[in-house]
């Protein structure tokens, strides 16, 4: 029973780790730089496809067979190709503002999805199969931890601060001598590269990828993860990813009536989270924690007061 449960939980846990990495990448773009990208899944798909193409087509040619080395290189390939795709999208699109930028990223994602459907070498609409199994749960979680740690460090560097300053007030940031275009570009590129990492992990864990991964609905899931968790912190994005993966999984075990319609409950949860805690669940968690702390300190104060 326990073993079955463990075996069953491998796939949801892997998906959680991958969604969390995607969300961390988007957090930098959306929460950090304040750019709404509705096409984040496309960079993830580009990373996944290139990494898979590398291990399937290029690796035998280069004579690489050592799995660890191969996986590391394919991670680099995934991140690099997603970064390149990000560059192609960002250089023209970052001149646009707000909702127009959102629309342009959505458009590019649709174009990338359409292109992937039409490339026969990677399976077309049927999807890319026959990818060797190179990554697994430990890989996913190590990369997640690494990305989380690196982003936490990055946020404290000069560039990390400049990104947030640009988000808060672009004109003020420019008057302080920040090159706002460059900071936005670097946030976008870094976020895309992280999505590419997630893609490389995904294809080598599930041994399959289809053009659906570049779909608008996938991008929406990542945006939901970032916003539901609370877009101003890294923890919020990981929390959001956990909720997005866990809620449909848990509802699977619910009674029939609920299980069959779990997408309805999922949608309701999204709406209610936004209505009652528009800054995301992370703020709710913090508020509760603070109240708890206050209660503790006040009871401590009373005790001290009583003693004094």
Partner 1 sequence: MFDLIQYLVDGLAVGSVYALIALGYSMVFGVLQLVNFAHGELFMVGAYFVMYAISLGLPWPVALGLGMCFVGLFAVAMERLCYKPLRGAGKLAPLITAVGLSLLLQNLVQAILGPNPQSYPARVPEGKLSQFFGQYLPDPSQLQIPHLPDGLFDWNDLVIRHRDLMIFTIAVFVTLGLELFLRKTRPGRGIRALALQPNAAKLVGVPFDFTISMTFFIGAALAVVAGLLQGMADNQVTPYMGISSGLKAFAAAVLGGIGVIPGALLGGLVLGIAERLLVGYDLSTYKDGAAFFILIIVLLLRPQGLLGKARMVKV
Q: Which residues lie near partner 1 (CB under 8 A)? A: 30, 36, 92-93, 95-100, 102-104, 106-108, 110-111, 113-115, 117-118, 171, 216, 220, 223-224, 227-228, 231, 260-261, 263-264, 266-268, 270-271, 274-275, 278-279
Between 163 and 228, whose beta carbon lies closer to partner 1? 228
From residue 48, give the alpha-carbon distance in Å to each of 21, 43, 54, 220.
Answer: 13, 8, 10, 18
Distance between CA atoms of 229 and 242, rounded to whole angstroms?
9
Distance between CA atoms of 53 and 74, rounded to whole angstroms?
9
Distance of closest approach, residue 263 Cβ to partner 1, in angstroms? 4
Distance of closest approach, residue 294 Cβ to partner 1, in angstroms? 25
Whether the CB-CB separation of 25 and 98 falls below 8 Å is answered with no
Distance of closest approach, residue 264 Cβ to partner 1, in angstroms? 5
Its sign, for the CA torsion 16, 18, 24, 30, is: negative
Show Cβ contacts of residue 38 under 8 Å, excluding neighbours closer than 6 positions.
Answer: 102, 103, 105, 106, 109, 216, 219, 220, 223
Distance between CA atoms of 41 and 217, rounded to whole angstroms?
9
Between 96 and 285, whose beta carbon lies closer to partner 1? 96
Between 141 and 265, whose beta carbon lies closer to partner 1? 265
Distance of closest approach, residue 125 Cβ to partner 1, in angstroms? 8
Between 100 and 149, whose beta carbon lies closer to partner 1? 100
Between 274 and 285, whose beta carbon lies closer to partner 1? 274
Whether the CB-CB separation of 41 and 23 falls below 8 Å is answered with no
Between 5 and 275, whose beta carbon lies closer to partner 1? 275
Between 117 and 204, whose beta carbon lies closer to partner 1? 117
Residue 216 CB: number of other CB atoms within 10 A? 15
Distance between CA atoms of 246 and 174, rounded to whole angstroms?
42
Distance of closest approach, residue 301 Cβ to partner 1, in angstroms? 34
Distance of closest approach, residue 136 Cβ to partner 1, in angstroms? 31
Distance between CA atoms of 258 and 245, rounded to whole angstroms?
17
Distance of closest approach, residue 128 Cβ to partner 1, in angstroms? 17
């Amino acid at each position: 029973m326990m073993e079955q449960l463990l075996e069953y939980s491998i796939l949801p846990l892997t998906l959680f780790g991958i969604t969390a990495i995607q969300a961390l990448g988007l957090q930098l773009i959306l929460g950090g730089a304040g750019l709404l990208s509705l096409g984040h899944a496309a960079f993830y798909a580009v990373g996944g496809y290139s990494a898979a193409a590398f291990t399937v087509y290029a690796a035998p040619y280069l004579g690489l067979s050592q799995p660890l080395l191969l996986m590391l290189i394919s991670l680099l390939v995934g991140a690099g190709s997603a970064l390149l795709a990000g560059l192609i999208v960002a250089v023209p699109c970052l001149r646009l503002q707000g909702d127009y930028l959102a629309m342009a990223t959505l458009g590019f994602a649709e174009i990338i999805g359409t292109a992937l459907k039409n490339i026969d070498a990677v399976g077309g609409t049927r999807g890319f199969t026959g990818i060797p199994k190179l990554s697994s749960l430990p890989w996913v979680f190590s990369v997640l931890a690494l990305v989380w740690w690196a982003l936490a460090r990055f946020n404290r560097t000069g560039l990390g601060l400049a990104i947030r300053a640009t988000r808060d007030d672009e004109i003020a940031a420019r008057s302080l001598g920040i090159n706002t275009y460059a900071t936005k570009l670097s946030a976008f590129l870094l976020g895309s590269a992280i999505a590419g990492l997630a893609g490389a992990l995904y294809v080598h864990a599930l041994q399959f990828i289809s053009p659906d991964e570049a779909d608008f609905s996938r991008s929406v899931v990542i945006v939901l993860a970032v916003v539901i968790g609370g877009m101003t912190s890294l923890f919020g994005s990981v929390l959001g990813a956990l909720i997005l993966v866990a809620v449909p999984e848990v509802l699977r075990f619910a009674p029939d009536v609920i299980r069959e319609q779990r997408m309805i409950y999922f949608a309701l949860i999204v709406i209610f989270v936004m209505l009652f805690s528009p800054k995301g669940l992370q703020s709710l968690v913090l508020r509760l924690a603070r109240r708890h702390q206050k209660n503790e300190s006040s009871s401590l104060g009373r005790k001290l007061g009583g003693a004094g």
